[in-house]
Amino acid sequence: MPIVIDKDIPAYKILTGEKIFIMDKGRADVQDIRPIEIAILNLMPTKETTETQFMRLLSNSPLQVNITLVRTQTYNPTHVEAEYLSRFYKNFEEIKGRKFDGMIITGAPVENLEFEDVAYWKELEEILDWTKTNVTSTLFICWGAQAALHYFYGIKKHPLKEKCFGIFAHKRVQDGEVEPLMRGISDEFHMPHSRHTIIYASDIKNQSRLKILAYSKKAGASIIKSLDNRQVFVTGHMEYDRETLKREYERDKAKGLDIKPPENYFADKEMQQVKMNWSSTSNLFYINWLNYYVYQVTPYKW
């Protein structure tokens, strides 16, 4: 089944070029089917790239998925044109009366700020509260995960001496329980990370309403869930494309920043070839989330 998006959004052309089944909203509206409704609160400055990455992953299930792109109203990003936001994105005020089967809250390049110092923090608090009653399951990514863990559970983020930047091996937590979210994923798998802060696994373990599903010696607790499955926290970036870390590295080098090449990422000394070893895990993870945590538990009518 297809993912349903506006045919004028850049992701439509990119994903159809990859032979992904995309359906525009006009065609979807005449089909007698109950699609899964997913909202994406995109806090990244690279709006087009980020939305395409998530849409690509959400398109791989047998479900018809409607996507609603959401932006903050209290902060106007400077890396994207206002006309683009107005055309393809909704403000929170425009969607707060709706119910969604799932929601993704992305990362944001503000991790060195205190949470309360982020320009849109008050609005994000309102959105986080709203997810408890209006969303079946919410997936929080990177800084979005740190922000939600801080807001809901009082868990702190801690600065790193050196940026956690690269592809790192992770291990599934083996406790004898069957975890649908991790079904089909190998005992050891890889995930990209790009951040200056970390969540300590010990802080998660001290919170009785949370469970660690996977961890990394280098990157810390990486996949965490609430016991009711309504909140999933991923501290890395499974959604990243092959070239994403390369672009981040080259951007920071061009700015004159003291940045080392991403670890375990380049396959050659010239740093041109990328060893992509996380895509199968990414696809399985998002299919599992849509199937087990969204589709099978969301009501037919909200």
pLDDT in tens, 216-258: 999 999 999 999 999 999 999 999 999 999 999 999 999 998 8
pLDDT of residue 23: 56
Shortest CA distance to 162 belongs to which of 61, 259, 22?
A: 259
Q: Which residues are catalytic?
A: 142, 237, 239
78-102 residue pLDDT tens:
777 888 888 999 999 999 999 999 9
With 60 as the cut, is the pLDDT of residue 27 above it?
Answer: no
Distance CA 82, CA 61 (A): 32
pLDDT of residue 76: 77
Pairing mode of beta strands 65-71, 36-41: parallel
108-153 residue pLDDT tens:
999 899 999 999 999 999 999 999 999 999 999 999 999 999 999 9
pLDDT of residue 28: 47
**What percentage of the chain has pLDDT greater than the value 90?**
74
Token pair, residue 246, equals 């390369």
Q: In the chain, at which residue ranges do the beta strands (DSSP E only) sit?
A: 3-4, 22-23, 36-41, 65-71, 89-91, 100-105, 135-141, 158-172, 188-198, 210-216, 220-226, 231-234
pLDDT of residue 2: 55
Q: What is the mean pLDDT of residues 166-191?
A: 94
Distance CA 151, CA 124 (A): 10
Q: What is the mean pLDDT of residues 41-50?
A: 93
Lowest mean pLDDT among 12-16, 66-70, 255-259: 12-16
Calculate helix-pair angle for 10-17, 47-58, nearest 10 degrees. 50
Shortest CA distance to 48 belongs to which of 103, 85, 76?
A: 85
pLDDT band at 198 (very low <50, low <70, confident <90, very high): very high
Contact indicator for 102, 289 with CB cutoff of 8 Å: yes
CA distances from 46 to 85, 108, 229, 248 (A): 12, 10, 29, 11
DSSP 290: I
Distance CA 239, CA 249 (A): 17
With 60 as the cut, is the pLDDT of residue 37 above it?
Answer: yes
**What is the pLDDT of the chain when averaged over all its residues?**
90
**What percentage of the chain has pLDDT greater than the value 70?**
92
Contact indicator for 174, 73 with CB cutoff of 8 Å: no
